[in-house]
A = this chain, B = another copy of it.
């Protein structure tokens, strides 16, 4: 392809709203243009790289027997009502009515569409397992789209859905997907951090995120300095610096030598900090109690230690206790309660439920609502806590003796400096962006959407499901985030829009002839080339070549063409120095190098 016949509008200046490297470089190198906030058009060069990422994903999906389909981008709202997500999804789901007043969504993910299709065709266990995917346009109505295609409104996602007769089969496909994902990111030249939802120490993982490190990442990751533990802060665990007690009897016994509970006057003292300085002690001696409101709590607590049945209401309040130096992780709390959402109760509710102004809530004597305690609380034998009355606290509070929780769980937010749950090493933090996610869905959709099949014995059963996504735009942008220097992009050979740029110093005379011949020879070898035939100064062409960042550059100049054996100058984009090669063998040599690199992927 000749540059003059393509459409590669490079820019010297940086667009004002482009704050991250990939956004800047995608605009500057002429890969992308903006149509509106969060809506971007891939120009020809950008689309070539985009399609290569797509194709890598497609090959790896096909390899594990996942079958490509193409449902629609516009999906009937009826399906979303069946699954329950029509109401559950919030405003990021773009709903609209068509001219006949029908409800539709522009699909952000496609559990409903795939489940509906499989529902209609599935009859026998012999059809399972079944894995299907699409690579298709998605839309999420982001309030603040930013960072270019890293967080756009419209994007392309590979989303796969698998259907299984049993957990073993789901587990197999889940493992295959995990391997395929590692392979995809490796082929794209990306260093991903696979982040499992649980530590892996507790058996089968139900979810794994594939993160890349990024200063502007949406996610906080906790990584171990000593082993390969990596977790999203939303779900990170840590080695407890206390011994969790699962039995109130053990706790009671441990409190045998604790003095009896005692009320203390704490006028005007409400926060943990104020209490610490008032009582001249550390925050680890306090039992912090916060009142939470939880939405749509599921009654089934799945083996958790719950002392009483959960109240059956759409909105329920809980008192949540944690050691004073720790923070509550609301995602863990919601998961422990199987709640759709949790949020701190307002002052009025706190006052009503604790019988005291804000700042004096505590678990001792609290009857109005169930108490949920982080494991850290269960080892407190002699603590301080609010006394459910203005300006009063209790001291010598012992878990198991003075109060018991309705539910105990791991609720703490893990932070840098905490200990690795696997090896005890020190954890540190990184920001990360999620490129992919694999997830065991279970029967959430197959149940709500009434999918069933007959097993060997003719019994009707509900299949179990997995879902597996990769953001194509994000993956492409992340390649640039990882592979660039101050001059521009440095494409990995697998994703490069073209593999070679040929730069004649001037596109005329012998240089034009040599450039044209080399281009033809390389194309004959199946190599993708860009030929800079523009009437520009060599400096401009070199700057653009570095900016666009194709893996190899061949410069053809008069001086090197002169003499008995004409030569050309080859330089890898990562290399500092170029080297001279005989022009006659240049195509074969380059093609050989490129094929070797591609085959090693």
Q: Which residues of A contact B (CB under 8 A)?
A: 5-7, 9, 33, 35-36, 39-44, 46-47, 50, 65, 67-76, 78-79, 91-92, 94, 96, 98-100, 102, 106, 113, 116-117, 120-121, 130, 132, 136-137, 139, 141, 143, 153-154
Contact = CB atoms under 8 A, between A and B. Distances in A.
Given A71-B41, A141-B99, A35 B116 contact: yes
A61 to B, nearest CB: 11
A59 to B, nearest CB: 14
B67 A106 contact: no
Given A7-B121, A36-B76, A154-B72, A41 B141 contact: no
B69 A139 contact: no
Contacts of A47: 68-70
Contacts of A153: 74, 98
Contacts of A6: 67
Nearest to A144: B100
Nearest to A77: B36
Contact of A139 (B70, B74, B76, B141): B74
A137 B44 contact: no
A39 B76 contact: yes
A35 B113 contact: yes
Given A76-B35, A117-B33, A70 B42 contact: yes
Given A72-B137, A73-B139, A100-B143, 18 more contacts: A6-B67, A7-B132, A33-B117, A35-B76, A35-B113, A36-B102, A39-B72, A39-B75, A40-B72, A41-B71, A43-B117, A47-B68, A47-B70, A72-B154, A74-B106, A74-B139, A74-B154, A106-B106
Nearest to A47: B70
A418 to B, nearest CB: 37
A121 B67 CA distance: 40
A71 B35 contact: yes
B41 A68 contact: no
Contacts of A96: 94, 96
Contacts of A76: 35-36, 39
A136 B156 CA distance: 12
Q: How many copies does the complex hold?
A: 2
A74 B154 CA distance: 7
A39 B46 CA distance: 30
A379 to B, nearest CB: 46
A195 to B, nearest CB: 30
A592 to B, nearest CB: 23
Contact of A78 (B36, B42, B75): B36
Q: Which 7 A-B pairs have the closest CB atoms?
A: A36-B76, A41-B71, A96-B96, A42-B70, A44-B67, A9-B121, A39-B72
Contacts of A143: 99-100
A28 B92 CA distance: 37
Nearest to A110: B41
Residue among A36, A39, A102 with the highest chain B CB neighbour number at 10 A? A36
A300 to B, nearest CB: 32
A98 B77 CA distance: 16
A52 to B, nearest CB: 13
B75 A73 contact: no
Contact of A137 (B41, B65, B73, B102): B73
Nearest to A73: B137
A46 B120 CA distance: 17
A98 B37 CA distance: 12
A439 to B, nearest CB: 21
A5 B9 CA distance: 46
Contact of A120 (B33, B73, B75, B106): B33
Given A35-B76, A36-B78, A98 B141 contact: yes
B91 A130 contact: no
A91 B97 CA distance: 12
Contacts of A9: 121
A69 B39 CA distance: 14
Contacts of A130: 7
A44 B72 contact: no
15 contacts: A5-B65, A7-B130, A7-B132, A9-B121, A35-B76, A36-B102, A39-B74, A41-B117, A44-B68, A44-B132, A46-B70, A72-B137, A73-B154, A92-B99, A106-B106
A93 to B, nearest CB: 10
Contacts of A70: 41-42, 46-47, 50
A198 B78 CA distance: 46
B42 A69 contact: yes
A113 B99 CA distance: 24
A56 to B, nearest CB: 17
A70 B33 CA distance: 10
Contacts of A44: 67-69, 132
Contacts of A42: 69-71
A137 B137 CA distance: 8
Contacts of A46: 70
A71 B46 CA distance: 11
Nearest to A130: B7
A70 B96 CA distance: 24
Contacts of A41: 69-72, 113, 117
Contact of A43 (B69, B74, B94): B69
Nearest to A121: B9
Contacts of A68: 44, 47
A53 B153 CA distance: 29
Contacts of A7: 67, 69, 121, 130, 132
Nearest to A93: B99
